[in-house]
Homo-oligomer: A and B are copies of this chain.
């Protein structure tokens, strides 16, 4: 899907998008460090220097490629609407929907890079906390003293799911139907959010 620009664009209008798509894929596949501008440029059919021309540097390219296209502010209301006991299941369901979709590559890129790169790790932590965990815990009016731990536990299950399904590609998890994983992990997340964890 490419947004067409109105008005005359110098050169090929799609070049920028092609670079971004190639970058997203490369970062998702190999992580920030291992992905190379040269390989991205080749995949996009352009010259490496052009990438610098458009984006300035590798970090800026990464940020542009992973700028989260799925605005959690738009998705969370659907998770939070409805009964309190169903938040866990709905959170896992939306999580899988996003990550299974094409934009999920940005998430994979972020996760894969966060493992061996400090500043992308911070990016991921902040995204998780401020965009996902905090709003959910707020909405459920969880005891503030328990929020860090409960949020962290939710993060372990979601991150583990993402790791096995998208990064390490553990067969049984990677090939499972979303509904199967929702049924399995939904109650876990629900318990971490509102259940008895002592």
| A interface residue numbers (CB < 8 A to B) | 30-31, 33-34, 112, 114-116, 121, 124-125, 148-149, 151-153, 155-161, 163-165, 167-173, 176, 180, 183-185, 187-188, 191-192, 197-198
Contacts and interface: CB of A to CB of B under 8 A. Distances in A.
Given A115-B116, A116-B33, A121 B168 contact: yes
Does more than half of chain A's interface fall in helix, strand or loop, or is it mixed? Answer: helix
A164 B168 contact: no
A164 B170 contact: no
A180 to B, nearest CB: 7
Contact of A185 (B156, B158, B169): B156
Contact of A171 (B121, B148, B163, B197): B148
B188 A157 contact: yes
A128 to B, nearest CB: 8
A162 to B, nearest CB: 8
A124 B155 contact: no
A173 B158 CA distance: 14
Contact of A183 (B31, B157, B168, B198): B198
A171 to B, nearest CB: 7
A156 B170 CA distance: 9
| Complex A-B, nearest 5 residue pairs according to Cβ-Cβ distance, in ascending order | A160-B160, A152-B172, A148-B172, A156-B160, A152-B173
A34 B30 CA distance: 13
A175 to B, nearest CB: 9
A167 B115 contact: yes
A154 to B, nearest CB: 10
A86 to B, nearest CB: 16
A108 to B, nearest CB: 10
A188 to B, nearest CB: 5
Nearest to A183: B198
A156 B169 CA distance: 11
